[in-house]
């Protein structure tokens, strides 16, 4: 399991956006520097919370796209036009902005290198994000486990 206690992992932390990469017109990867990050496993997610000036809060869960070996936490977000959080993350957020995170969360769908058998990963749409973390972890660990990714998307973007 990732380093740290459950209570420590589930408290809200303030991270700083280091970099935003537009993957498609509707999808961005957001790399976040999180002080005292306890580490994560490939396949886990974080909760992101936004707080408006009037105190209203909205939060959503996003899979972590970065490998556990990466010093930054990267989430890949698809903008949903009627969403409360994703339009801000994809269209408004900028480098050096602060963002609230809680996690890492989840331990049932994780993968650790080295693998002991071939890895078959199947995803559709934004469900590919935790699988990206697994593939990146495999590469960072220089693991030679055979891997195959089957991916489907409704559009080319």
Residue pLDDT, tens place only, 102-144: 999 998 889 888 888 999 999 998 999 999 999 999 999 999 9
pLDDT of 4 higher than 80: no
6-152 maps to CATH 3.40.640.10:
no
Measured between alpha carbons, how far is 86 from 91 in angstroms, rounded to an integer?
Answer: 8
pLDDT at 8 over 80: no
Q: Strand 119-124 vs strand 147-152: parallel, antiparallel, or unpaired?
A: parallel
Residue ranges of domains in the chain: 6-152
What are 17-66's pLDDT values in tens digits? 999 999 999 999 999 999 999 999 999 999 999 999 999 999 999 999 99
pTM for this predicted structure = 0.88
> What pLDDT does residue 15 have?
98
Measured at the alpha carbon of residue 28, what is the angle toward residues 84 and 114, in degrees to the nearest 5? 115
Supply the pLDDT for residue 75. 98
Tell me how far CA of residue 14 lies from CA of 48, 102, 117, in angstroms. Answer: 10, 9, 38
């Amino acid at each position: 399991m990732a380093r740290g206690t459950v209570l420590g992992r589930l408290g809200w932390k303030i991270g700083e956006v280091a970099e935003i990469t537009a993957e498609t017109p509707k999808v961005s990867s957001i790399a976040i520097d999180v002080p005292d990050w306890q580490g994560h496993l490939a396949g886990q997610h974080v909760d992101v919370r936004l707080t408006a000036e009037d105190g209203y809060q909205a939060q959503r869960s996003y899979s972590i796209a970065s490998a556990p070996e990466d010093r930054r936490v990267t989430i890949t977000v698809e903008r949903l036009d009627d969403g409360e959080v994703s339009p801000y993350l994809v269209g408004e957020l900028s480098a050096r902005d602060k963002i609230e995170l809680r996690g890492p969360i989840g331990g049932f769908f994780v993968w650790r290198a080295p693998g002991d058998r071939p890895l078959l990963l199947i995803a559709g749409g934004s469900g590919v994000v935790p699988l990206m973390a697994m593939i990146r972890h495999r590469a960072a660990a220089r693991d030679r486990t055979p891997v195959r990714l089957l991916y489907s998307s409704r559009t080319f973007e």
